[in-house]
């Protein structure tokens, strides 16, 4: 399954000679120091200095205030995250991945700039708020002074006191207009459970974070599966899988892989157009393609996924899903078309690219999922990748494929896919016939099968991402079925 979540980045640049520090906080505020792999929950009431490379995030009902020695300060709302990208005597750079931040910039202070993938805001001595939602759209509200804002296409406009402007991701900045609302409550979360769930999909990749989240979610999991299997390389893998519903119109599938020397995981968040029924299979049955000319009651609007070894990650982000009629008289049906669909990969050096998703390798618009068609596609480096086309290294009758893409900037990524039994034997076309002749049904054989995907890339510095998941769990959740 594929998908994407868009975490956007802001950059605040202060120019002063002393360090930033966290002076006040409420609820659960976590800090990951530069070079560290783990987050730690802040405790006590002492000020906490922030150094270049440090990251900060807030949970639900949690806030943090960062003070500067020149008297400027910013407040981070619940379910928000940023990184202090750089700090020196002339500038401080702060990158906000998602959520909201309100800034009070002292008059006569030096340059203060806010950046997102869709907006740039330059100010001197003002009170304003910038937000970034789960889709990468930005909003600027000015409460005092003025802000020179611009979009990624170079359009600019002056947002004055009492005005706001919306800057859509990849679109043109809206003309500033009067803002009838008072400053928003910075103690409240931007968006809803959907925003929080998408942020978690892309933002939590350390082993500690993933296991802590799993321990919490398994208490209310709808489907669960645990077993031990052998992967394609002969390694024993403890597999744990579950599904949970973060919101009425969402469900999330999680798989955890523990081997003797490593930990890998995968997470997929599915968002639908309407609240899901109690029987999940009713919604998943036609979420990709639905027979007939009428749209199904439930279909996908977004998919967000990540696969990771806790250091490297591959993310897919899809949004704007709708069901489009194919116009056929002989086989009328509605097919799922995503307005945008993107694929990212990242090692530690690329973790902050793409608003936190990684390095963008390709992006499709108006992507017809079942037909693998799109109206336009763009690639890293500007040209289509070369490399090894899909091949069958173990033979044409064995369920093992390999595909590698080489991009013009030197980046490459490869995927190996396997279908294999619990004992590690890779499935071949003859296994179904042999199994059926022995009295097993296709359904029974499927319960002993697993899927394994292995990603390698020059971005991963010799490491791989290797996730194995069961056919049975997909079948239980309605994602895999036999007619």
Per-residue pLDDT of 134-171, as tens digits, reads 667 888 899 888 888 888 888 899 999 999 999 888 78
Per-residue pLDDT of 350-381, as tens digits, reads 887 887 789 999 999 999 998 989 999 999 99
How sure is the predictor about 417, in pLDDT bands with cuts at 50, 70 and 90?
very high
Claim to verify: residue 381 and residue 472 sit in the same structural domain:
yes
Query: How many domains does the chain contain in total?
Result: 2
Per-residue pLDDT of 85-112, as tens digits, reads 766 666 666 777 777 888 887 776 656 7
Per-residue pLDDT of 311-321, as tens digits, reads 999 999 999 99
The mean pLDDT of 29-55, rounded to a whole number, is 87
Claim to verify: residue 308 and residue 373 sit in the same structural domain:
yes
Pairing of the two strands 263-272 and 63-67: unpaired
Residue 342 reports pLDDT greater than 90 = yes
Residue 25 domain-assigned (yes or no):
yes
| C-alpha to C-alpha distance for 340 and 168, rounded to whole angstroms | 14
Q: Which of 114, 143, 178 is the last residue of a domain?
A: 178
The CATH number of the domain holding residue 37 is 2.60.120.1440
Claim to verify: residue 169 and residue 210 sit in the same structural domain:
no
CB proximity list for 329: less than 8 A, separation 6 or greater: none
Residue 203 reports pLDDT greater than 80 = no
Residue 108 domain-assigned (yes or no):
yes
Claim to verify: residue 87 and residue 219 sit in the same structural domain:
no
DSSP-assigned states of every residue in 37-106: SS-EE--SSS-EEE-TT-EEEE-TT-EEEEE-TTS-EEEEPSS-EEEEEEE-SS-EEEEEEEEEEEEEPP
| C-alpha to C-alpha distance for 313 and 309, rounded to whole angstroms | 7
Q: What is the mean pLDDT of the chain?
A: 83
Residue 347 domain-assigned (yes or no):
yes
Other C-beta atoms closer than 10 Å to the C-beta of 169 total 21
Instruction: Identify the pLDDT of residue 10.
Output: 26
Structural domain that includes position 238? 204-476
């Amino acid at each position: 399954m594929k998908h994407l979540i868009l975490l956007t980045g802001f950059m605040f640049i202060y120019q002063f000679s002393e360090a930033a520090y966290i002076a006040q906080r409420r609820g659960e505020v976590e800090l990951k120091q530069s070079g560290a792999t783990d987050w730690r929950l802040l405790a006590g009431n002492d000020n906490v200095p922030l150094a270049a490379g440090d990251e900060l995030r807030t949970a639900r009902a949690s806030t943090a205030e960062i003070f500067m020695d020149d008297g400027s300060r910013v407040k981070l709302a619940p379910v928000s995250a940023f990184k202090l990208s750089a700090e020196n005597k002339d500038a401080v750079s702060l990158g906000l991945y998602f959520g909201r931040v309100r800034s009070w910039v002292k008059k006569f202070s030096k340059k203060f700039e806010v950046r997102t993938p869709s907006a740039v805001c330059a100010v001197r001595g003002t009170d304003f708020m910038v937000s970034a939602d789960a889709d990468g759209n930005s909003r600027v509200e000015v409460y005092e002074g003025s802000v020179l804002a611009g979009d990624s296409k170079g359009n600019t406009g002056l947002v004055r006191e009492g005005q706001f402007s919306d800057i859509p991701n990849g679109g043109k900045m809206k003309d500033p207009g009067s803002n009838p609302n008072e400053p928003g409550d910075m103690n409240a979360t931007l968006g809803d459970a959907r925003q929080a769930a998408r942020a978690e999909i892309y933002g939590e990749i350390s082993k500690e974070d993933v296991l802590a989240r799993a321990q919490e979610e398994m208490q209310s999991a709808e489907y669960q599966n645990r077993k031990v299997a052998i992967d394609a390389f002969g390694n024993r893998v403890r597999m744990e899988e579950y599904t949970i519903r973060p919101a009425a119109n969402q469900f999330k599938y999680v798989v955890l892989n523990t081997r003797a020397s490593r930990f890998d995981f995968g997470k997929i968040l599915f968002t639908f157009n309407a609240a899901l029924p109690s029987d999940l299979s009713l919604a998943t049955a036609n979420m990709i393609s639905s027979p007939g000319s009428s749209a199904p009651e439930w279909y996908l609007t977004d998919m967000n996924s990540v696969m990771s070894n806790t250091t490297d990650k591959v993310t897919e982000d899809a949004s704007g899903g709708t069901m489009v009629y194919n116009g056929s008289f002989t086989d009328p049906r509605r097919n799922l078309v995503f307005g945008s669909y993107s694929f990212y990969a990242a090692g530690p050096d690329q973790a902050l690219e793409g608003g936190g998703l990684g390095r963008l390798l390709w992006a499709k618009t108006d992507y017809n999922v079942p037909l693998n068609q799109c109206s336009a596609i763009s690639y890293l480096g500007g040209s289509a990748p070369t490399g090894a086309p899909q091949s069958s290294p173990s033979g044409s009758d064995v369920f093992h494929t390999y595909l590698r893409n080489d991009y013009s900037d030197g980046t490459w990524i490869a995927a190996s896919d396997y279908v294999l039994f619990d004992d590690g034997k890779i499935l071949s076309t003859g296994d179904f016939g042999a199994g059926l002749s022995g009295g097993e049904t296709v359904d029974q054989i499927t319960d002993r099968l697993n899927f394994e995907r292995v990603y390698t890339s020059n971005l991963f510095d010799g490491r791989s991402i290797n996730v194995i998941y069961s056919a049975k769990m997909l079948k239980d959740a309605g994602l895999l079925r036999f007619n």
